[in-house]
Amino acid sequence: MPPKKAYQCSLLPGGPAVVTERMPAVRTASLGIWIAAGSRHETRDQEGMAHFWEHMAFKGTASRTARQIALELDLLGGLADAYTSREHTCFTIRVAADHLPKAWDILADIALAPCLSPEETAREKDVILQEIGMVEDTPDDKLLESLWEAAWDDRATGHPITGPAETVAAYVEAGLWAWRAANYRPGSMVVAAAGAVDHAALADMVAQAFAGLPPVPAACPATLPVPAFRPGSLGLTRDVEQTHVAMGFPVPGNADEGRFARAALCTILGGNMSSRLFQEVREKRGLAYAVSSDVNALADAGLLEIHAAVDPGRVEELLNVVRRELAAMAAGGVTRQELEHVREHLRGLLHLGAESTENRMVRLAKNHLLFGRHVPLSETAGKIARLSLDEIGQAAAAILDPSRSVLGILGPHVEPSWLQGAAS
């Protein structure tokens, strides 16, 4: 009998794709239901609905109360989670392999058949309003959220995932169901699993769960407009001890082939302890406890973001140091030593992540949603190994352009001169 394939994919008629990766050495499995609908798929009066439905999944179904859902998940010893992004909503669980059928039953129930009782709906609105308040009270979260919103001329792309408080408070049941009917379509979903998983058995369970749903007409996938970047600056005054500074530079999205060069650039700039910004800002000058750079990207657009928090009296010094490092990298690229270091760093992260069933499951689902195919670890490792000085240098010159950036500063006071160096 031939050995089972590690990766398998089944496209269920009128239903989701089922993608699995078998990991023979493990005794657990990670499972996820991914819906290709997030905050980017909302009109102005729907903002926050994707996130609201993620919350309501745990508040009861036709067959389970909210408490029963919590008890059953706890009895499995499983680690359940859910999140909403700008492009996806995801429900996941990690369990011992023999608990996978029960885990699927619970996950499918909450993701596909939630209820909207008036009491739970009103209560969860209050919970989300508190969540929105937490962001307002967390300086770095508030600044980065505001920076992202300011960067795009498309409100669907830029608005907060939670939605504004006034919109959440005004939700009505009919509007919530209408958004869900338009976006929770079986053909736009992916069921992914990795670990000790039997593909055929899972595909059968998925088919049975979706067969019990009311028929949904197929819909042509909507083509979202690529958002246009808006350079500029913003200042937010808050009663805080430190001043938070963030910069954003537009980058192509995750579907673009240059993503590996951008990941390398971001890592060398501020992605780890040996990065240029960490060494210059923290180690040499003690300007900040933490300074970092990250790529925050959608399928078709994103930002390379830099963030640090400093004493209000040293903001100008921080800005000068960061701008000097950005100019040096844009003009001179990176060194051979930095190239070799970042290759090994990214390769190490790739293989460390491959030890986790959860990381493998997420990788399966994201690659299927983004590329419509499986991307083997060897393919990604090969692209990392082939990164060149020219690729990273070209990325630096194209991205780190001060005339195409957005600058945000949040602190007890914001001097106009701090914002003058930003694009306008």
- What local confidence, expressed as pLDDT, does residue 423 receive? 58
Instruction: Please check whether residues 190 and 332 belong to one and the same domain.
Output: no
Residue 340 in domain: yes
Query: How far is the CA of 340 from the CAs of 91, 335, 347, 384, 388, in angstroms?
Result: 38, 9, 11, 10, 9
- What local confidence, expressed as pLDDT, does residue 15 receive? 87
Residue 224 in domain: no
Q: By mean pLDDT, which of 75-84, 98-107, 119-128, 147-156 is the weakest?
A: 75-84
Q: Which of 47, 54, 87, 391 is catalytic?
A: 54
- The DSSP line for 339-370 is HHHHHHHHHHHHHHHHT-HHHHHHHHHHHHHH
Count of domains observed in the chain = 2
Instruction: Please check whether residues 37 and 82 belong to one and the same domain.
Output: yes
Residue 216 in domain: no
Burial class of residue 214 (count of CB atoms within 10 Å of its CB; 0-12, 13-18, 19+):
exposed
Residue 1: pLDDT band by 50, 70, 90 thresholds?
A: very low
**What number is the average pLDDT over the span 3-10?**
86
Give CA–CA dist 226/245, Å, rounded.
27
Place of tokens 């009128």: 14
54 part of the active site: yes
**What number is the average pLDDT over the span 341-367?**
97
Instruction: Please check whether residues 155 and 91 belong to one and the same domain.
Output: yes
Residue 424 in domain: no
Instruction: Please check whether residues 170 and 285 belong to one and the same domain.
Output: no
Instruction: Please check whether residues 248 and 367 belong to one and the same domain.
Output: yes
Q: In 31-138, which residue ranges form alpha helices assigned H by DSSP?
A: 49-56, 66-75, 100-112, 118-136
Residue 240 in domain: yes
Instruction: Please check whether residues 198 and 291 belong to one and the same domain.
Output: no
For 332-350, what is each residue's pLDDT tens digit?
Answer: 889 999 999 999 999 999 9
CATH of residue 344's domain is: 3.30.830.10
Residue 219 in domain: no
- What local confidence, expressed as pLDDT, does residue 14 receive? 84
Domain that holds residue 178: 7-211
For 174-227, what is each residue's pLDDT tens digit?
Answer: 999 999 999 999 999 999 999 999 999 999 999 999 987 776 665 555 667 889
Instruction: Please check whether residues 200 and 241 belong to one and the same domain.
Output: no
Helix/strand/coil for 282? helix
Looking at 162, 179, 211, the residue that finishes a domain is 211
